[in-house]
Amino acid sequence: MAWWTRKAKTFVSTCVILSGVTNILCLVYVCWVTNRIANVNVKVQRPVPGTHTVTEQHEGGRRETLRLMERLDRLEHVVNQHLQDIPQKAEESVAREGVTDSSLFSHWGQDLSPEQRNIALRKFQYYGYNSYLSDQLPMDRPIPDLRPDGCRNINYPASLPQISVVFIFVNEAPSVILRSIHSAIARTPAHLLKEIVLVDDNSNNDELKQRLSAYIAEMNARQPGFIKVIRHDKQEGLIRSRVSGWRLATAPVVALFDAHVEFSVQWAEPILSRIQDDRTRIISPSFDNIKYDNFEIEEYPLSAQGFDWELWCRYLNPPKEWWNLGNTTTPIRSPALIGCFVVDRVYFEEIGLLDEGMEVYGGENVELGVRVWQCGGSVEVLPCSRLAHIERAHKPYTEDLTKHVRRNALRVAEVWMDEFKSHVYMAWNIPRENSGIDIGNISDRIALRQKLNCKSFKWYLHNVYPEMRMYTDTVAYGVLRNSMKSDLCLDQGPDMDNIPIMYICHGMTPQNIYYTNNQQLRVGLLSPTVDDDDNRCLVDVNGRPRLIECSYAKAKRMKLYWHFTQRGSIQNKKSKRCLELQQSADNEFGFQLLLDKCTGQRWTISNLLETGSS
């Protein structure tokens, strides 16, 4: 409350105060709901004999939480506009947050003085990771060899193609990017590493520029032209920066990496060997995590890489055929890419590089993976090539990441997904027609698809990503409103209760509703794959509305089928009870959901995919 009081002193009118309070209350609720949702769709992987039993559950939950929290950036920005008239200074930020409250100090920094903690926290807020600690670590620090045991016994050809390692960065911590460069040099055989290419996407950090320039001059004095640099005059974003790096690279194989990574021993040889065998393969190393707070290396389980219907990247359980081989050194077939990847330089151009019509970040790796598979290539993750990567606590370089990812996702849908593009619109809760989102000109990408004679997205789903759930039975989607109180929407409510509620309409995931041609009403997040928890359906349970996993409710022959007409009632087909609103003084918003005798209440859903209704 002290923070609020200090902010309140700067308010210029009662109107602004009330506006700020309203937005904050909404934000608090959405944050609460978002954190609940993050745990809904993460299923523990079944341990497989002979493999690590570490699962993705914890990390998957954290990734989903971060992913959904990024969707709140825009709302936070609106709130901040009400709460402040001038940009906040770093010193003020530290004082207001409270040094001891920061996640930075949960597992690190207890022995620091108050002054040191303030310095560390300022750096953390600027970079999104603990650059204060990074500055104290050696450039050549050892990292554990986390490859499967069998990798150490593999011999690779003596003659492999050379590689250019490209690092993309903007305002990276100097010690972090220098360690990335040093790690690449130290752990790549000298005869294979042709050059390092640095793409500076318009950094304004003077310390970074000075230290990096000095390091480059020193390295190039020993080996002229070994480190190349391109600096953008304006910020282009990760997607176009990667293409800039590819254009400057000259080796037969190009690795496109973030500038906050550390390489494991013998990371390059497995990749170069696979690309030498087949130049149409795009390869990802297996990732481990450099913890953002204490910089310890956390082992990740071996995974494929895929996406959900919003086209956010996600780790996947490797396909069944990989497990059946019983050999953890075998390459893993992957539907898409999450981040860093390695590609034959000429093939990358032939296949269309990255979609430079996309903005900033997000969706480009999904688009690349889908395109490569549909157009005759393949994507693999190699267990014998490992890369440790810092996952930031927050991304300080963009204010509205969600806006860019959503726009990019719609470009992918319109070019590559055929009749399944509706799934992307449904997942984002965007109308198919007149979405209000300008995705730019896609004619050149459509022409590329025709030129490459690519297969359909249906082929891709059946042959490459069969784990992906399909929702072709959906006939309507969006938020569901009742005419009695149109500013309230059906909401999945507290997850543990499985009781739907009515809440102020915000249109985010907890309020996503999907009505199907077999008359089910699904509520909440679209389950991405068969390995995730099933969707939840609205069910009449002893005369009360409840949310039950659809497959379970169907197997138990529960009352999960509803007759619904747009601007009409929602009536359970078996019990004949209708979903109704009833005034209630005990409810936060004055209304509660119930199942009762039909009184003619009217419901409306945002978007229809078919004319009429079931």
Concatenated DSSP letters of 343-412: EEHHHHHHTT-S-TTS-BSSSHHHHHHHHHHHTT-EEEEEEEEEEEEE--SS-TT-S-HHHHHHHHHHHH
Confidence of residue 100 (pLDDT cuts 50, 70, 90): low
- Using 50, 70 and 90 to split pLDDT, how confident is the model at 102? confident
The DSSP symbol for 191 reads T
CA distances from 525 to 174, 326, 502, 538 (A): 40, 34, 17, 14
- Domain at 151-390: CATH architecture: Alpha-Beta Complex (3.90)
Which long-range CB contacts under 8 A does 577-583 form with residues at least 24 apart? 577/540, 577/543, 579/538, 579/545, 579/603, 581/482, 581/484, 581/485, 581/488, 581/502
Question: What pLDDT is recorded for position 68?
Answer: 38
Q: Which residues pair with 237 in a beta bridge?
A: 360
Q: Which fold has domain 474-608?
A: Trefoil (Acidic Fibroblast Growth Factor, subunit A) (2.80.10)
pLDDT, tens only, 524-536: 999 999 999 999 9
Q: Using CA atoms, how far apart are residues 82 and 70, in angstroms rounded to an integer?
A: 20
Domain ranges of the chain: 151-390, 401-464, 474-608
Choice between 9 and 254, residue whose per-residue pLDDT is larger: 254
Band of pLDDT at residue 17, cut at 50, 70 and 90? very low
CA angle 580, 582, 585 (to 5 degrees): 155
Average pLDDT, integer, range 442-458: 98
* Nearest C-alpha neighbor of 134 from the set 176, 181, 177: 176
Whether the predicted pLDDT of 117 surpasses 70:
yes
Q: Which pLDDT belongs to residue 93?
A: 42
Mean pLDDT of 360-373: 95
pLDDT(172) > 70: yes
Q: Is the pLDDT of residue 431 over 80?
A: yes
The proportion of the chain whose per-residue pLDDT surpasses 70, expressed as a percent, equals 82
Q: Over range 548-557, report the average pLDDT.
A: 97
Instruction: Please give the average per-residue pLDDT across 157-180, as a whole number.
Output: 97
Selection from 363, 170, 165, 162 nearest residue 269 by Cα: 162
pLDDT band at 40 (very low <50, low <70, confident <90, very high): very low
pLDDT at 448 over 60: yes
Q: What mean pLDDT do residues 270-281 have?
A: 98
Name the least confident of 91-95, 331-335, 418-422.
91-95
Q: How far, in Å, CA of 305 to CA of 317, rounded? A: 8
List, for residues 228-241, the tens digit of each pLDDT value. 999 999 999 999 99
Confidence band of 166 (pLDDT split at 50, 70, 90): very high
- Report the pLDDT value the prediction gives residue 339, as an integer from 0 to 100: 85
More reliable by pLDDT, 97 or 109 = 109
Q: What angle do CA 509, 550, 506 make, to 5 degrees?
A: 15
What does DSSP say about strands 281-290 and 297-298: parallel, antiparallel, or unpaired?
Answer: antiparallel
Q: Quick one: tokens of 182?
A: 């040093």
Q: What pTM was estimated for this model as a whole?
A: 0.83
CA distances 110 to 77, 97, 105, 390, 393, Å, are 32, 17, 7, 22, 19
Read off the pLDDT of residues 378-399 as tens digits, 9 standing for 90 and up.
999 999 999 999 999 988 766 6
d(CA 231, CA 257): 16
Q: Over the chain, what is the mean pLDDT?
A: 86
Quick: pLDDT tens for 464-481. Answer: 999 999 999 999 999 999
**Using CA atoms, how far apart are residues 550 and 557, in angstroms rounded to an integer?**
10
Task: Check whether 81 has a pLDDT greater than 80.
Answer: no
Q: What is the CATH number of domain 401-464?
A: 1.10.8.460
Lowest mean pLDDT of 291-300, 454-463, 489-498, name the range: 489-498
| Whether pLDDT at 36 is above 60 | no
What is residue 497's predicted lDDT score, i.e. its pLDDT? 86
Kindly list the distances between the CA atom of residue 450 and the CA atoms of 67, 444, 530, in Å, as whole numbers in the listed order. 33, 10, 32
